[in-house]
Every structure is written in C-alpha cells, then in structure tokens.
C-alpha cells in the first residue's frame, strides 16, 4: 500500500519537475527588470534588459518616417531619459498618458527600445 502511494506521489511530482525545468530554461534572456527612470540613471545597468515606465516629455518627440526612427524623452517627474525606438510611430503615441518601454542602454547611454507599450485607448475608465 505504501509502495503504491509512493508511486502515485512520484508520478504526480513528475509534471511539476518537468514544468520547473521548462520554466527555468525559458527564463533565460526573457526577464526584464523594472526600474524607475531615476534608478536607471543612477546605477550602471548597461547589460540588463529593463522595463521603464514614464510620462512623455512634450516637444521631445522626433520621428523620421523614412528609417523609421522614433526618439523621445520620458520623465518620472524628477529626471529625464532619452530613448530611441527603431519602428513605426504608434497611432496613440502622443495621446497616451503613460509609456512603458522595454530595452537596454547602448554604449552611448541612450536607451534602445525593443518593445513599446502604450496603454490601450479602450481603457475602461476607473470609476471613483
């Protein structure tokens, strides 16, 4: 009886081990660390993939549709961060209150965005 129970236990642990293995394997290179703009400026985080949230600084946006290359600054109220994104200007870019970006710092200290997220305008407004 106890042998049978042990077997059942081992068998039910197998999927967990497998899942753990898969998750560990997948974890590499897919983690992005949350930093505020001030933190990112203060520390040396050149190698890591970061996720940074901030408000768009008005008049900081330049866009070259031919490349295409989008450059802008984000602020968290204290410090600014210049970022550049090689991609198409999203429709709701100027409109969005908050910009979330993922990427890394390049050698010149500019933030190279690999993924740009804007809060979808379908935003179900929170009611008080």
What is the Cβ-side half-sphere exposure of residue 13, based on CA atoms within 13 angstroms?
A: 6
Question: Contact region for other proteins (CB under 8 A) — 1-9, 71-79, 104-112, 113-121?
Answer: 113-121
Q: Is residue 7 a contact point for other proteins (CB under 8 A)? A: no
Q: Is residue 30 a contact point for other proteins (CB under 8 A)? A: yes
Rounded to a whole number of angstroms, the minimum distance from the CB of residue 27 to other proteins is: 6
Task: Identify whether the C-beta of residue 103 lies closer than 8 Å to the C-beta of residue 111.
Answer: yes
For 33, the token pair is 């660390």
Distance between CA 39 and CA 28 in Å, rounded?
A: 23
For 53, the token pair is 């949230």
Which residues are near other proteins by CB under 8 A? Answer: 15, 18-19, 22-23, 25-27, 29-35, 51, 53, 63, 65-68, 88-92, 94-95, 100, 102, 115, 117-127
């Amino acid at each position: 009886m106890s042998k049978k129970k042990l077997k059942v236990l081992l068998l039910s642990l197998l999927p967990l081990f497998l899942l753990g293995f898969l998750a560990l394997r997948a974890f590499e290179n897919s983690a992005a660390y949350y930093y505020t703009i001030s933190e990112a400026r203060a520390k040396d985080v050149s190698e890591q993939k970061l996720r940074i949230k901030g408000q768009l600084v008005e008049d900081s946006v330049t866009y070259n549709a031919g490349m295409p290359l989008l450059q802008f600054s984000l602020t968290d109220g204290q410090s600014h961060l210049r970022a550049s994104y090689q991609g198409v200007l999203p429709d709701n870019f100027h409109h969005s209150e908050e910009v979330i970006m993922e990427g890394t710092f390049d050698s010149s200290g500019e933030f190279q965005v690999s993924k740009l997220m804007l809060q979808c305008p379908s935003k179900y407004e929170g009611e008080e």
